[in-house]
Amino acid sequence: MRKPIHFAIALSSLIACDTPYADQPAVDPNAPRVHITSPERGTFAGTGATVEVKGTATDDTSVTSVEVNGVTAIVQADGSWAATVPVAAGTNLLHAIAKDAQGNTGKETRAVVAGPTSALDKTIEQAITATISAQTFDALGRGASELAGNADLTSLVTPINPVVDMGTTNGVPDCLYGQAHVTGVDLGATTQIRLIPTSGGLMLDADLDNARVDAHLQWAVSCFDGSRNVAMTASRIHIGGLLAVGQDFFGNIVFTLESPDISITNFNVDLGGVPQTIIDMLDLDTRLGPVLAWATEKFVVPMLNDSLAGLNQTKTLDVFGKQVDVTLMPSRVDFSLQGAAVILDTEIRAQGDSGNFVYVPNTLPAMDLSQGFQLAIADDSANQLLTSLWSAKALDLKFDLSTGPYGEIGQLYDSVELSAKVPPWLDASSGKLKLVVGDLMASFKNGEQVVTQVSINAEVELSVTADPTTGALRLDVGQPKAFVDVLDDQIDGANALSNAQFEAISSFALSRVVAVGSGAVGAIPLPSAGGVSVKNVSVSQQTGYLVVDGEIQ
């Protein structure tokens, strides 16, 4: 009979050991042997709220008790036992603990998947909600103001030359016409751009101070041609209007400036030598404002689009050698005086996946627009990705341990093959964000012979951090709590390990759990308001959503 040996370990416990301890066997010969026979590894248990767990327990004296996740099992005289254990939706870890009369304990852990399922090709509706407060848009406006002085407005305007075109026929000059071609645009350092949320979009309130526009004029009067370079200046150009929000044909968020209100203070241009007929025709003091308003829109709108780019993207990532398609689709954008709320549907899948994933519909959480920035992500979106990676065999890996920085484990074995029996699971229902890795099988080989095999189960807490400069958010993997069972399956001999060997294996196991966690959750999109720094990031849970709060600085 196979004798699995169970150990609960944490990364901090893997410390150097003295030689006598290192040479001792990792298995306590006095501890009971406990084994879960049902459900088998890789079991999907359906939608029931409980699962029946069966197994065996033996000891050199007697087994006094067996518990599974705190539920006392009924133990028969032959050592067989059974317990009915509650399970939740997702990947559950079943911890069986057997005790003898001397208080020695033997343990084994197994993973089982429970809950309702849906096809992997499902679009997760209302998967992400991002709220952006009025204070955040104010910060975006201040950022635009700082950039305006260095913005290349000239390159924005010149493609629409001539900016003034009067008297031509389909652009072809006649005997009486006038044109103005902008050759340069420069704004002063005190330009101010304000973005104020309102119903339907953002109010743009911009003061372009000390504006200068260089232009080349050309004209004809009674078929006599003329041309001249001029410089137009204004102490202030005020532009107001609604940046209305909508979506283009591809579902992207777009802004357009509607009915701009423009006023110019202290407009000045030297038009000496230009015929009065042409001066009247060009009407530069009234036509300059709309041109700069258009240029401002072309500057501010891309900045807004860049800031909201994380809410509006389709991209392909490489995760564990698999191509993962990340699609975010805005389903609704709501503006009010307090700010904006963007609701997105998602589909995040590895190419080549198949099958179903555990899907539990969630209720959209209450969002607080008074926060600087708030983000809610449905755990369904993450679990679609995790199951997709699993079904596409992205977690089945082989490592050549004889090369690379593998330390002591590379001295013990030539290679290791990893295979995940069940998909990882992200849980946002317990007040903490937790990643569960279940039954990750590791077969260590020398040559073609499997000499050691372990099952790795782990729970890893996740945190959210913000880049202090860009405000970009990312998921970070914390220290895992791992449960390692040493198995005898497909092993020649008893698979006896010393403490030193077991610690080397455990250290490798923990490193792989961290790698699996960071690699998988790194593909989960965490949109942010680009260009705005977020501080004091905190994480909470609401109705199956991970909710991230942050302050704008």
pLDDT category at 310 given cuts 50, 70, 90 is low
The whole-number average pLDDT for the span 60-75 is: 93
Would you say 308 and 530 are in contact if contact means Cβ atoms under 8 Å apart?
yes
Tell me how far apart the alpha carbons of residues 509 and 416 are, in angstroms, rounded to a whole number: 11
Tell me how far apart the alpha carbons of residues 55 and 33 are, in angstroms, rounded to a whole number: 11
Is the pTM higher than 0.85? The answer reads no
Q: How confident is the model at residue 50, as a pLDDT?
A: 96
Tell me how far apart the alpha carbons of residues 216 and 229 are, in angstroms, rounded to a whole number: 4
3-state secondary structure of 359: coil
Q: How confident is the model at residue 341, as a pLDDT?
A: 86
More confident position, 3 or 207: 207
Cα–Cα distances in angstroms (integers) from residue 472 to residues 97, 304, 308, 428, 459, in the given order: 44, 15, 11, 21, 26
Would you say 470 and 533 are in contact if contact means Cβ atoms under 8 Å apart?
yes
Half-sphere exposure of 209 (CA within 13 A, CB side): 9
- Cite the DSSP H helix spans in 116-254: 134-148, 153-157
Q: DSSP character for 308?
A: T
Site of tokens 């119903």: 199
Beta bridge partners of 82: 54, 74
CA 548 from centroid of its chain's CA atoms: 12
Would you say 464 and 526 are in contact if contact means Cβ atoms under 8 Å apart?
yes
* Radius of gyration, CA atoms only, the chain: 33
Q: Which residue segments constitute the domains of the chain, with CATH numbers given?
A: 28-118 (2.60.40.10), 151-307 (3.15.10)
Tell me how far apart the alpha carbons of residues 302 and 439 are, in angstroms, rounded to a whole number: 47
pLDDT category at 118 given cuts 50, 70, 90 is very high
Q: How confident is the model at residue 6, as a pLDDT?
A: 44
CA 507 from centroid of its chain's CA atoms: 28
Q: How confident is the model at residue 85, as a pLDDT?
A: 97
Neighbour-count burial of 493, counting CB atoms closer than 10 A to its CB (0-12 exposed, 13-18 middle, 19+ buried): exposed
Q: Does residue 1 surpass a pLDDT of 60?
A: no
Most confident range, picked from 53-62, 185-194, 285-294, 421-430: 53-62
Q: How confident is the model at residue 75, as a pLDDT?
A: 93
Q: Does residue 93 surpass a pLDDT of 70?
A: yes
Give per-residue pLDDT as tens, 433-488: 788 999 999 888 888 888 888 889 999 888 777 666 666 677 777 778 888 888 87
Q: How confident is the model at residue 65, as a pLDDT?
A: 94
Would you say 435 and 422 are in contact if contact means Cβ atoms under 8 Å apart?
no
Q: How confident is the model at residue 260, as a pLDDT?
A: 82
